[in-house]
């Protein structure tokens, strides 16, 4: 595990801070190490993934928190257009079709999104 990854139980944000549907990126630093992940919200459910595309290793959102398609139904990599399912991170179209994003366990506890 990346030592910069927040420990289980660490508060990330309030659920209300993420649009529905929507996504929010997070970055944590521990000395020289960086951890980048993002959380996708649909209703009261959240899914977390490491912000690294399995195609070429790029961060998925090149601008702000734009991790989703305009319809909000798939995760989009802005670099070369790969599309991923929200529920399991599997790439369903694009140059890395069939390969999944790396999961980042997160949960909602008392209205807060936390690392799990």
Separation between Cα atoms, residue 22 and residue 93, nearest integer Å: 20
The tokens for 108 are 């909602």
Q: Tell me the CB-side half-sphere exposure of residue 93, using CA atoms within 13 A.
A: 7
User: How far apart are alpha carbons 32 and 34 in whole angstroms?
Assistant: 7
Site size toward ligand FES, by CB under 6 A: 10
Between 16 and 92, CB nearer to ligand FES: 92
Which of positions 19-78 make contact with ligand FES (CB under 6 A)? 53, 55-56, 58, 77
94 near ligand FES, rule: CB under 6 A:
yes
φ and ψ at residue 13, rounded to 5 degrees:
-175, 175
Rg (C-alpha) for the chain, rounded Å, is 13
Q: Which of 80, 87, 92, 97 binds ligand FES (CB under 6 A)?
A: 80
Closest to ligand FES by CB, 83 vs 108, is 83
Contacting positions for ligand FES (CB under 6 A): 53, 55-56, 58, 77, 79-80, 82, 94-95
């Amino acid at each position: 595990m990346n030592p910069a990854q927040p420990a289980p139980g660490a508060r990330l944000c309030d659920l209300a801070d993420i649009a529905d549907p929507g996504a929010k990126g997070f970055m944590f630093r521990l000395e020289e190490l960086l951890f980048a992940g993002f959380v996708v919200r649909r209703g009261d459910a959240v899914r977390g993934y490491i912000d690294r595309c399995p195609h070429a290793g790029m961060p998925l959102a090149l601008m702000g928190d734009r991790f989703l398609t305009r319809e909000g139904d798939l995760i989009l990599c802005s670099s070369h257009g790969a599309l991923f399912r929200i529920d399991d991170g599997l790439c369903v179209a694009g140059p890395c079709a069939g390969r999944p994003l790396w999961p980042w366990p997160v949960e909602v506890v008392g209205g807060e999104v936390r690392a799990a």
